[in-house]
Structure 1
């Protein structure tokens, strides 16, 4: 089908798909260089501006990275099954509870799996993350980053890459809401102590305890946030 015969949206979607197929066919990975937009346009039989538009759509989901003056490269999300929606917008107060409920449905199972699957290296990474967090209890922005990384590392340790991507997407897209949850919860020391207990259960290989601890941790956060938002309303 020629460029003229396709609708604009269909053509852009097809070009994005063809670019992904090219990346996979060539065995390219994150950071590998792609042909120029002009070369890709010639390869697919379209105009260069049309090709650039398709590449920008791939850049929005970090499938590719466009570095001006350098080139086009394979992005970090090329191998992902679940992609975060960067345009999700700000959650309404009512959806805070839904966000925490979603985490409650997923993260306890991941903590359980992590306790059964953990390696020494993974435990060390979890501990290092909490050690960094311990030094940031007075800096909410830095503490938030370490806390979210701790939850991501648990998901990675569990060994289910799709569920790990689900957790990462929830934490990445709703970063501002997660930071607000930290502010509302307003007990950094308790939060950190509970994280240490979860780590201890994972390190000791106690799946049931790890699941129970992270469930209680998220349930308490959910209760405090719900009560606070109700008072503010």
Structure 2
């Protein structure tokens, strides 16, 4: 009986919101009720601690939890600011290990499921600002075809992220952004193994042309073919 009571008590402790949990919610409520946006400054740690009747160290713990998700940014000597990740619905795991060879292919499989339909959506929905950004990115990529792998890879991934963003689906945009930013090292490895910068660039240009033409079917097929070609080469080089 005692053991059962102890187990019940432990379960209640685990499910009961902690003070830090409650504080994170109150800080979020403050941000939203005051209509604060990314980049806006919050009251100081001391002011917030007094407002919520807690100690400054306890409040800092809650703020660090919010900072880990991008909801706030703590700048030493400056203050606490609303972060760009406040409304994110997809949170990347910064502790994940580097992907092995087989997982590189799984990463490409995931992109194959998501990016071609997004390219089609971009062809239907992209506005002039989206198109101008995509053109600018590829112009920059063309100037770096003989540059460093890391620099060119960053530009290429920016193109894929911008194409996903142009589709107008915030959740899927976040999924692609999370995959590409979190696994930047693996993406550089994919570029190294693919080892055909000119072909890669030309395929990006073809995708952009289809998006600019508003040809959803062509944009989707070109993106699928592009990623399938990359995966096929990676499979051969990993054998």
TM-score of the superposition, structure 1-length normalised?
0.92
Q: What is the count of residue pairs matched by the alignment?
A: 226
The answer for unaligned runs of 5 or more in structure 2 is 1-12
| Alpha-carbon distance in structure 2 between the residues aligned to 1:182 and 1:9 | 45
Give the equivalent residue in structure 2 for 1:184: 193
Equivalent of 2:150 in 125, 133, 141: 141
Once the 2 structures are TM-superposed, how far is the Cα of residue 6 of structure 1 from its aligned partner?
A: 9.4
| Alpha-carbon distance in structure 1 between the residues aligned to 2:210 and 2:15 | 55
| Alpha-carbon distance in structure 2 between the residues aligned to 1:146 and 1:186 | 16
Equivalent of 1:130 in 109, 131, 138: 138
Sort the Cα spacing of 1:191 and 1:152 in 2 relative to 1 into closer, same or farther, 3 A: same
Does residue 226 (structure 1) correspond to residue 235 (structure 2)? The answer is yes
Does residue 93 (structure 1) correspond to residue 108 (structure 2)? The answer is no
Does residue 31 (structure 1) correspond to residue 18 (structure 2)? The answer is no
Give the equivalent residue in structure 2 for 1:165: 174
Query: Mapping of 1:202-221 within 5 angstroms?
Result: 202-221=211-230
Aligned residue for 2:225, secondary structure, equals helix
Please say which of residues 213-222 and 132-141 is displaced more in the overlay: 132-141
Deviations 1:141-174 (A, max 9, x none): 1111111111111111111111101100100111
Aligned residue for 1:32, secondary structure, equals coil
Aligned residue for 2:18, secondary structure, equals helix
| Alpha-carbon distance in structure 2 between the residues aligned to 1:225 and 1:9 | 47
Q: In angstroms, what is the RMSD of aligned CA positions? A: 1.8
Sort the Cα spacing of 1:176 and 1:9 in 2 relative to 1 into closer, same or farther, 3 A: farther
Aligned residue for 2:81, secondary structure, equals strand
The answer for unaligned runs of 5 or more in structure 1 is none
Does residue 50 (structure 1) correspond to residue 58 (structure 2)? The answer is yes
TM-score of the superposition, structure 2-length normalised?
0.90
| Alpha-carbon distance in structure 2 between the residues aligned to 1:91 and 1:200 | 33
Aligned residue for 1:34, secondary structure, equals coil
Once the 2 structures are TM-superposed, how far is the Cα of residue 94 of structure 1 from its aligned partner?
A: 1.9
